C-alpha cells in the first residue's frame, strides 16, 4: 500500500511537486466547511484523483505531520495493492 499526504495552503500545494495527478484508489480530504462546499475544489480533486473514491470531512483545524493548520486543505491518499485471481499480490498500475 502506498500512502501520501498533501496539504494545500494559500492556494498552493505543499510541497509543489505534490500537485501531480495520482493513481490512488482512495482520497480523504479534510478542510473547513466553506472549502468543502466549493465546486472548484471538487473539480480539482477529481483532476488529481481520476481513479479514486473521494471522501471529505469538515474540520476545525487540519493536522499535517506535527502541525495543526487552519484554513488549509489536507489530503490523505491511498493506493492499494490488488490480489490477482491466483491470490498473488500485484502492484497497482
**Among 4-8, 58-62, 84-88, the least confident range:** 84-88
Residue 91 C-alpha cell reads as 502492484
Residue 53's contacts (CB-CB under 8 Å, 6 or more residues apart) are 25, 26, 27
Question: Are residues 51 and 23 in contact, defined by beta-carbon separation less than 8 angstroms?
Answer: yes
Q: What is the pLDDT of residue 77?
A: 87
Dihedrals phi, psi of 7, to nearest 5 degrees: -135, 135
- Top pLDDT among 9 and 39 is at 39
Terminal Cα-to-Cα distance of the chain (whole angstroms): 12
Amino acid at each position: 500500500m502506498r500512502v501520501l499526504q498533501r496539504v494545500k495552503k494559500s492556494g498552493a500545494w505543499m510541497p509543489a511537486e505534490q500537485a501531480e495527478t495520482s493513481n490512488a484508489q482512495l482520497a480523504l480530504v479534510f478542510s473547513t466547511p466553506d472549502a468543502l462546499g466549493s465546486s472548484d475544489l471538487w473539480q480539482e480533486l477529481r483532476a488529481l484523483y481520476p481513479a479514486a473514491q473521494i471522501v471529505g470531512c469538515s474540520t476545525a483545524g487540519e493536522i499535517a505531520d506535527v502541525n495543526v493548520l487552519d484554513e488549509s486543505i489536507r489530503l490523505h491518499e491511498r493506493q492499494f495493492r490488488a490480489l490477482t485471481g491466483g491470490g498473488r499480490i500485484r502492484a497497482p498500475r
